Amino acid sequence: MSQAAFDTGESATVTANTRVVEAFIKDVLSEHNSDHIASYLTDDMQWHGGTVGTITGSDNVAGLFASVLTALPDLHPAVQDIFGSGNEVVVRMVVTGTQKGPILGIPASGRQVQWDAVDLFRLEDGKISQIWAGDDWTALLYGTGTYSSTKPAAANLMDGRVRRGTSRRFISPPR
């Protein structure tokens, strides 16, 4: 097979898979059609949420998304980037909404929340089979008022040991 033929096949697969993910984001997350969720998923779908854990099965994953849409009825994902390779599509989004119901065990706060997400979708036969959700859960916790800090995030990471030079920043050694 020539390189051009391979590229065309790869490109068609990536394009088709990207369209499925874009449709899922628009139909489910933007338009809040929770009754459509399962139609985008394989039966053995897995959602990997990092510290939140892994959820298996299309009904369970659909339930997760439905609960998020219930908790954040004005949820809006603003897609910043979307690209793919083979059967995988990566999406970078900024997600916003108002927490009107419980989410991740956090009671409704009525507060506006915003977090960044970088999610990897794997597709099989035109359906989503796995999602690795790289969501900034700390930002969500901060937005709900569950977490707060008196220091800016960078100061927490550096423990206040940042010194400014003329053109660079230096990290002071611990004392």
Task: Give residue 40's pLDDT.
Answer: 98
Higher pLDDT, 113 or 153: 113
11-30 core/surface letters (b: 16 or more CB in 10 A; e: else): eeebeebbebbeebbeebbe
DSSP string, 99-135: --S-BTTBPP---EEEEEEEEEEEEETTEEEEEEEEE
Query: Is pLDDT of 9 > 80?
Result: no
Instruction: Pick 3-149's CATH classification: 1.10.287.4070, 3.10.450.50, 1.20.1070.10, 2.70.70.10.
Output: 3.10.450.50
Task: Give residue 76's pLDDT.
Answer: 98
**Residue owning tokens 């990536």:** 14
Q: What is the pLDDT of residues 129-167, one digit of tens each?
A: 999 999 998 898 889 998 887 665 555 554 444 444 444
Q: What is the mean pLDDT of the chain?
A: 86
Q: What is the pLDDT of residues 114-132, one digit of tens each?
A: 999 999 999 999 999 999 9
Task: Give residue 79's pLDDT.
Answer: 98
